[in-house]
Amino acid sequence: MSLWSRISNAVRGERLNREIEEELQSHIDEAIASGRDPKEAHRAFGSALHAREASHSIRVAGWLESLLADVRFGWRQLCRNKVASAAAVLSLALGIGSCVAAFRLIDALLWRPLPISNSSKLYALSRKLIGPEGRPIEDGYWATPDFKVMRDAVKDQADLIAISDADRTDITWTTDDDMEKAHVVYVSGNMFPLFGLEPALGRLLIPADDRGPGASPYAVLSWDYWNHRFGRDAHVLGRSLHIGDQTFEIIGVGPRDFTGTEAGTVTDVFLPLSMNSLGTEDGVSWHHTFLMLKTGVNPSTALELMRQHLSAVSRAFEADCSTCLRGMTKASIGRFLNKTLVFSPAGAGISELQKDYRRLLGVLGLLVALVLLIACVNVSNMMTAQAAARAQEMALRISIGAGRRRLVQLILCQTALLALLASVLGALFAAWSAPFVLSLVNPPDNPARLALPADWRVLLFGFGLTILIVLLLGLLPALRASAVRPVAALKGGEDPHSPRRLMRGAIALQVAFCVLVLFLSSLFVTSFQRLENRPLGFSTDRLLLLETVAGKGQFPVVWNQTAEALRAAPGVSSVAISGWPLLGRIQINSDISINGAPPSPIPTFFRPVSPGFFSTMKIPLLSGRDFRPEDASPGAAIVNETFVKTYFPGQNPIGRTFERGANQPLNKIVGVTPDIPDHDLREPNRAMFYVPFDEIDDKSAPTVAGFATFVLHTDAQNPLALANSLRQLIAQRKNGLRVSNITTQLDLVRDQTVRERLIAMLAAFFAAVALLLAGIGLYAVLNYSVFQRRREIGIRLAIGSTRAGIVRIVTLDAFLMIAVGGCAGIALGFGAARSVESLFYQVKATDADMIALPACAILLIALVATLPAVLRALRTDPTEILRAE
Amino acid sequence: MAKTDSLQGSLDLLVLKILSRRPRLHGYAIMAAIANTSGEVLRAEEGSLYPALYRMEEAGWIRAEWIKKDTGRRARVYELTAAGKKQLGAEESRWQSVSVAINRVLREA
């Protein structure tokens, strides 16, 4: 009560003074009214001033009152330079907002612990090995039987949990007609209990659901899926869900905030591991393995022992596994078995998105931090200039008895006001920009989904950042101002150059940061442009892709008849079949052996295609012919140029043969095509062969295909316009084929550059902001310096200095600083570029034009920024200046 | 001026006591009451009464209120709070024990 009244009194100080005055006056009046002599009454009262001051300080929280006075004063200072203050607030807001937005993204994808108990005790198991292409790779997938052996090996100290990728899967709810996509994850039954998760409805999967292959046809929905697909209808329990020929019963809904362990993807359906047919295969690695330490186990000692133990167990399993090593050469068996088991902390989940975007987010963090620093330097310069202009005021305050603490408080208050205004605006910017940037990570059929809550982690970060900025900006000017020596300042200043020296250093710093941002962004933008403009070798124009599935499989004749039916549809000009889409997610390789020799060390990728594939994709044949309807696989093959260079250097490949592995049937090369990017736009040209889509077994009987993609060239500009009618056309044939996904070749090409486009866009944006801020900073510093040196310039002009001389003294320092800063920026840029090389495409940090671009940009902006100051210096009228002195 | 010292340290006690007997007095009336009841012996510099009143108000011993007087002027009147009553008891017993102690010293020394 009492503190509160003192605080509220501090806010209404004027009124309080009036009240005290009134009460004291009424005392005197009362005394006179009671018949006392007015003079005697005044004398008996004592010092009215003293009574008033003593009363005031009792009734008011003094610290608050002085703080309020400082805030009011600071506000008036800000209002006095409206344009400068607004610029400062806006640039700081942009910097703070970008930093907070970047933090939200980085935190949500990489740092935020999963909403499970004991997330800090969760590790992911993976193996490092030399991959089939001779490069080191990390394999995070495990075979279920291997997982079970390992689980039993460490069961006293830790629990192993199996969780598959959240694959987009075709599911149906009622009839076969309405097929939809859902992210389906297979988990071992111990996941939900070990994660300490409680159902929102029904029950979750339990260890008993692992009992045997196919024995637990139960499904658990995620809360998110239950919410957006079923509107939180409790009757969903007991409904059945079909995947392929399997039927699952919905038994429960997971807790509200748990979206699976894959950061960036929201899981829709959880199924028991035992229900996946891959679960019994010794040689198929298909799910992740997590390890959760039991309570009381010390990670620093137990983990390494467990790692060695598990490594030995898993190696023994794979060495004994007959199907794992089938068809491998001795060398590749050695390579396959020579693996290093790695534990990595997985408390924040694991995902491909994390791997793909870790570096990008690192770059983003660097860029926003640099922009914030540039903005801070600008504002700090502004404060320094204002403090220098107020040196006399400060000196006066000190001479009449202001404490230095009060002066520091005065300036910090002003800075805090700036920073607070900026952080409010910045928070708005961050609230908008973080989801916006996330929405740009948007491969159309699988956009990234992350929860971006504005919770205490984000608030704490924003608060810390604001405090840091206040100290960064305010402390230096505050200490300088409070160190003013009144005598010297009132005499007209002791060292007029000292604030300028500080500001010159600031220019160098700012230019260095700005050049670093420009340099990195020119690398990213050029990478993206080169990737976008990379010659594809095939046409993406009007190409529609129908990714089609066929349950247990259909014979080539059914596929070919369907292709024929599609060809007859209106608006379709040509149709071909490909095993899987070009530049899609699937790639399959096979060994190559020539003339019965042992297979080559590196397997070669292939693609089954129907006749007409090359003409539909506008891929020319360099020699030979296309497949004919009677060609089958094995039998005929078409190869690319790199295949010829690798296996038949200097020879005519047409008519030559190769086998897919030792003692396999022969394939005769009938044609040669140019190299095209098959799986990844960034990949170097690699050997590749095509086989006919029609496949036969060793008795020359046709074999079935479970999935394939129809490639259609349409007449209309927008091929997706035909999507629905063609989907129905295939469904109406009722031959077991169903369209699972529809896309265009153009979209698949665009998907390849989502990350590069995002980083190029963000980098270009921040480069523009950095350039603008640096320009403003440079302009302000030079302008201030000319203003401060007007006496010197006047005198120089009066004693006959040339205009060129004036220009030189005004700009020489600045350009020197720009040169120093620029070199420092490029040097920093080389260091930074090395750590993000994996994001570049055909661009090197040492390319001359990569350095020239930022250098030219900063020079140009420097010229523009110095022009007003130079003109002002040249317009100086010596007589006027000297008269004013 | 010499009389001021006679109130040193006991102004709070006197104000609380006066207010406990006669609630809702304004500053001048409190001062006058102290002077009257003490037979004009206890007098303070009148201005110093007000910081003391404000201090006691902030401490929550007394509460104040503006009232309109017959003359049309406003006056700020004070009354004891529950905490003030407790404080008065404590101050009174402290005063008693101190004065007993001082008297004993005066008698026996």
Nearest CB partner across the interface for A31, out of B28, B59, B74: B28
Amino acid present at B2 = A
The whole-angstrom distance between A58's CA and the closest CA on chain B is 6
First to last CA, chain A: 58
Please report residues of A whose CB lies closer than 8 A to that of B77: none
CA distance A220 to A803: 82
Give yes or no: residues A779 and A846 share one domain. Answer: yes
Q: A-side interface with B, Cβ within 8 Å?
A: 1-2, 5-6, 19-20, 22-24, 26-27, 29-31, 34, 44-48, 50-51, 54-55, 58-59
Over residues B62-86, the pLDDT tens digits come to 888 888 877 777 888 898 899 989 9
Residue contact B51–A26, C-beta within 8 A? no
B residues 10-49 lying closer than 8 A (beta carbon) to A = 26-29, 31-32, 43, 45-48
Closest by CA to A582, choosing from A757, A752, A756, A758, is: A752
pLDDT of residue A121: 92
Residue contact B26–A30, C-beta within 8 A? yes
Count the domains in chain B.
1
Over residues B79-106, the pLDDT tens digits come to 889 998 998 999 889 889 988 998 999 9
Closest by CA to A690, choosing from A541, A580, A553, is: A580
Q: What's the mean pLDDT in A812-816?
A: 85
| pLDDT at position A625 over 50 | yes
Give yes or no: residues A576 and A528 share one domain. Answer: no
CA distance A313 to A407: 70
DSSP H/E element including A342: strand A340-345
Give the total residue count for chain A: 885
Give yes or no: residues A604 and A566 share one domain. Answer: yes
Beta bridge partners of A169: A182
Give yes or no: residues A343 and A364 share one domain. Answer: no
| pLDDT at position B4 over 60 | no
Q: Above pLDDT 90, what percent of chain A?
A: 30
Do β-strands A122-130 and A340-345 pair in parallel, antiparallel, or remain unpaired? Answer: antiparallel
CB pairs under 8 A between A and B: 67
Query: What's the Cα-to-Cα distance from A567 to each of A34, A484, A706, rounded to whole Å?
Result: 117, 87, 21
Report the range of poorest mean pLDDT among A176-190, A352-366, A492-506, A787-801: A492-506
CA distance A327 to A590: 11
B72 in contact with A, Cβ within 8 Å: no
| pLDDT at position A21 over 90 | no
pLDDT of residue B8: 58
Q: What's the mean pLDDT in A850-878?
A: 87
Amino acid present at A756 = E
- What's the complex ipTM? 0.83
Predicted confidence band of residue A444 (pLDDT cuts 50, 70, 90): low
| pLDDT at position A689 over 90 | yes
Q: Within 10 Å of residue A72's Cβ, how many Cβ atoms?
A: 11
Domain that holds residue B59: 2-108
| pLDDT at position B3 over 60 | no
- Maximal C-alpha separation, chain B: 58
Q: Within 10 Å of residue B14's Cβ, how many Cβ atoms?
A: 21
Predicted confidence band of residue B5 (pLDDT cuts 50, 70, 90): very low
Q: What are phi and psi of A736, to 5 degrees?
A: 90, -10
pLDDT of residue A149: 92
Per-range mean pLDDT, top range of A40-54, A405-419, A475-489: A405-419
Q: What's the mean pLDDT in A240-244?
A: 87
| pLDDT at position B59 over 90 | no
pLDDT of residue A442: 74
The whole-angstrom distance between B105's CA and the closest CA on chain A is 35
Give yes or no: residues A131 and A191 share one domain. Answer: yes
Q: Last residue of a domain, which of A347, A367, A387?
A: A347
Give yes or no: residues A569 and A624 share one domain. Answer: yes
Predicted confidence band of residue A271 (pLDDT cuts 50, 70, 90): very high
CA distance A771 to A864: 12
Please report residues of B whose CB lies closer than 8 A to that of A40: none
Q: Within 10 Å of residue A543's Cβ, how many Cβ atoms?
A: 25
Give yes or no: residues A424 and A486 share one domain. Answer: yes
A67 belongs to a structural domain: no
Beta bridge partners of B78: B25, B64
Q: What's the mean pLDDT in A45-54?
A: 79
Over residues A523-581, the pLDDT tens digits come to 999 999 998 888 888 988 899 999 998 878 889 999 999 999 999 999 899 999 999 99
Tokens 């549809």, located at residue? A569
Tokens 């300028």, located at residue? A500
pLDDT of residue A490: 64
Treating both helix axes as pointing N-terminal to C-terminal, what angle do B49-59 and A2-11 enclose, rounded to 10 degrees? 120
Please report residues of A whose CB lies closer than 8 A to that of B46: 27, 31, 44-46
Residue contact A29–B50, C-beta within 8 A? no
The CATH number of the domain holding residue B79 is 1.10.10.10
Residue contact B51–A22, C-beta within 8 A? no
Minimal-distance CA residue of chain B relative to A55: B51
B73 in contact with A, Cβ within 8 Å: yes
Residue contact B74–A55, C-beta within 8 A? no
Predicted confidence band of residue A697 (pLDDT cuts 50, 70, 90): confident
A82-94 exposure pattern, b = at least 16 Cβ within 10 A, e = fewer? eebbebbbbbbbb
A828 belongs to a structural domain: yes
Q: What are phi and psi of A291, to 5 degrees?
A: -125, 130
A466 belongs to a structural domain: yes
Predicted confidence band of residue A453 (pLDDT cuts 50, 70, 90): confident
Ranges of H-type helices in A752-835:
754-788, 790-798, 803-835
Q: What's the mean pLDDT in A339-357?
A: 88
Amino acid present at B8 = Q
pLDDT of residue B29: 87
Q: What's the mean pLDDT in A809-825?
A: 87
Predicted confidence band of residue A791 (pLDDT cuts 50, 70, 90): confident
A619 belongs to a structural domain: yes
Please report residues of A whose CB lies closer than 8 A to that of B26: 26-27, 30
pLDDT of residue B2: 35
Residue contact B46–A1, C-beta within 8 A? no
What count of Cα atoms within 13 Å lies in the side-chain half-sphere of residue A332? Answer: 17
Give yes or no: residues A340 and A246 share one domain. Answer: yes
A721 belongs to a structural domain: no
If 0-12 CB within 10 Å is exposed, 13-18 middle and 19+ buried, where does residue A442 land? Answer: middle
Residue contact A31–B27, C-beta within 8 A? no
Over residues B13-54, the pLDDT tens digits come to 888 888 888 888 888 888 888 888 887 777 767 777 888 888
Give yes or no: residues A642 and A612 share one domain. Answer: yes
Give yes or no: residues A272 and A340 share one domain. Answer: yes
Query: What's the Cα-to-Cα distance from A600 to each of A323, A661, A665, A687, rounded to whole Å?
Result: 21, 9, 16, 12
Q: Last residue of a domain, which of A316, A347, A378?
A: A347
Q: What are phi and psi of A390, to 5 degrees?
A: -100, 15
Nearest CB partner across the interface for A59, out of B58, B75, B76: B58
Nearest CB partner across the interface for B47, out of A2, A6, A46: A46
| Secondary structure of residue A292 in the 3-state scheme | strand
B50 in contact with A, Cβ within 8 Å: yes
CA distance A808 to A874: 11
Report the range of poorest mean pLDDT among A136-140, A456-460, B1-5: B1-5
Give yes or no: residues A365 and A513 share one domain. Answer: yes
Domain that holds residue A54: 2-60
Q: Last residue of a domain, which of A326, A347, A368?
A: A347
| pLDDT at position A668 over 60 | yes
Give yes or no: residues A27 and A130 share one domain. Answer: no
Count the domains in chain A.
4
